[in-house]
Structures are given as C-alpha cells and as structure tokens.
Chains A and B, each alone.
Chain A
Amino acid sequence: MTAPDLATPVGGWRVWRLGADDDGPVLESPLAAASWTPRTAVTAVCHRGCGDAPAWGCSCGLYAVDDPRRLVGGLLHHGILGCTALWGRVVEHGDGWRGEHSYPLVLFVPSPDDEVLGVPVGALTVEQARRAVLRAARARRVSGLGETLGDALRRRYAVPVHVLPVSSPGAFAGHAVGALAGRVRDECVRGLAARRLGDRVAAARLDRAVDRLLEGLRPDLPPLPA
C-alpha cells in the first residue's frame, strides 16, 4: 500500500456541456458520452483497456487544466466552466492533470444574453436546458418555476454556481485574469474541508476570490492592477 502524496484534491479548470434529465440540467463530458451524476463522483474509464486509468502512457482520465485560458475549442465558447476536484490516481502534466475521480467544486454559467441562448451546447441549447429546468420543476410540483439554470445546477450538484459577466467562457482568453483564476483554483481545494464542515469564513473566502475574478472579466471595468 502506498502512502498518499496529497490529502487534499487537486483542483483544475474544465468545461462541461449541458444535458438534462427529468430533474433538470446535468453536466456531461464534452468529448465522451458520460454524464456527471449530481452528488456522485465520476470515475475514469479507459476505452483502450487500461486497468488503472489514468495510465501514464495513455490519454485516459478526467481532464483539468491549471489556467482556464488554456481551455480551447468550440465547447469553451458555449460550455459550463468550472473548477473540479481530481483525486485517486492523478497524472500530473506540464499544463494540467488527468485524474481517476472528479467532482465539480464551483461552476460558472454564461450570462443569459441572446448570443448564448441559440448556441448548441452538446445535445441541448442553453435555452432548451432552461426549459428542461422548468419542466422538471412542474413535474415535481414545487414552487421552483422561476428557477434559473444556475439555481438548478446549485440545487442538484450542491456547489456554488456563479454567472459569468460575459457570454462565453472563451472571453477568459482576452483578459489578464490568470492570477485571479489561480486564486479561485487554490481556494476551491484549500478551503474544501472547512466548507464541507459548514465554515462560513471559508465559504466567504472562496466567494471573495470568485468576485475578484468576475470583476476582472467585466468588459465595462478597467483592467485590475496586477
């Protein structure tokens, strides 16, 4: 038996596409056909047959990067961004990690403007996902008809959900927010145990780090001093 190298999870940035089931929105892996079930850890499976995913010489595992500006590709422009915890067997790379288990720690939904509503997000558009939220609320006969996409994700995944002041996570690329995003990533994992035990100070610390990042992304504010 090997002694663990870390007693806190590794935190990294990633994107999800949006799906839905009978109870509302669901996070899905952007490339593999895999749902991230609320309140359940996702475990990596290798389709090439690695016994212990993620394997050193393979591409399997659950991916996360150290800086959201590294996230590239179409999904970044209309996905759900977040910081996720990785644990179990974790292969560290120069720019990120591949993990065995993962669960989101904080999520960011794009601001609900017209630009984002019509954009396909995996199987659904954001607008379709919003309608799925309403249908789920009606089916449960709860007074949640005004529940937003962010509310529904918060209810299901039980993690903080914030609205980006921009219409897509792709806007990260144009802002000098690397250090601010790094503080959010650090605080996500550093304060995890305290937040889970109900420590409001730790929760407020993460909120402050997120607020600073969101301020840095607002197009109507001057850039923050370095």
Chain B
Amino acid sequence: MYLGEPVRVLHVEPVVSPVPDGDFPEVAAALPEPRPRPTPRRGAGVPPARRGRPRPTPITGA
C-alpha cells in the first residue's frame, strides 16, 4: 500500500495503553456474585437471645 512520501518521524508514548487490560470498554465492570448467606441448619433451635447490657431502669419522680 502506498502511503505517499514520508514526512517526519514521531515518538508516540500514550499515557494510557491502547491495549485493553482485561476491561471491556462497552460494559461496566461486573461485580462478583454476592456470596450466599449462611442459613441455619434445619431443625436448629432458635438461638438464645443475646445477653445485652442491662438496661437502666427508668427512674421516675427524681
């Protein structure tokens, strides 16, 4: 293919590589599938209520 006469030599250093690095320009990056939450075993009893800090008793009339 004839390109015409040579004009000059350029040194081209792109700041961003023209080669896609595993990305896909037309599609947004996919997030990984959410991991399934652990479910309680069948037949497992209701877990005991967590013992929290004792609630302060409201004081009235102070």
Contacts and interface: CB of A to CB of B under 8 A. Distances in A.
B49 interface: no
Interface stretch (B18-26, B37-45, B53-61): B18-26
Interface string A1-30: 011111111100000000000000000000
Contacts of A2: 11
A88 interface: yes
Interface centre among B16, B18, B20 (most CB of A within 10 A): B18
Nearest to A56: B6
A75 to B, nearest CB: 10
B18 A41 contact: yes
A196 interface: yes
Q: Is the interface of A mostly helix, strand, loop or mixed?
A: mixed
Contacts of A5: 10-12
B30 interface: no
Interface centre among B7, B16, B19 (most CB of A within 10 A): B19
Interface stretch (A133-141, A154-162, A177-185): A154-162
B10 to A, nearest CB: 4
B13 to A, nearest CB: 4
Nearest to A4: B13
Interface residues of A, number: 47
Contacts of B20: 39, 157-159, 196
Nearest to A197: B16
Given A94-B3, A196-B17, 12 more contacts: A5-B11, A7-B15, A56-B9, A63-B3, A90-B9, A92-B7, A93-B3, A95-B3, A99-B12, A103-B19, A159-B20, A196-B25
25 contacts: A3-B11, A4-B12, A6-B10, A6-B11, A7-B14, A9-B12, A10-B12, A40-B19, A41-B17, A41-B19, A56-B9, A73-B1, A89-B10, A89-B11, A90-B9, A90-B10, A91-B6, A94-B5, A95-B3, A103-B19, A158-B23, A196-B16, A196-B23, A197-B16, A203-B25
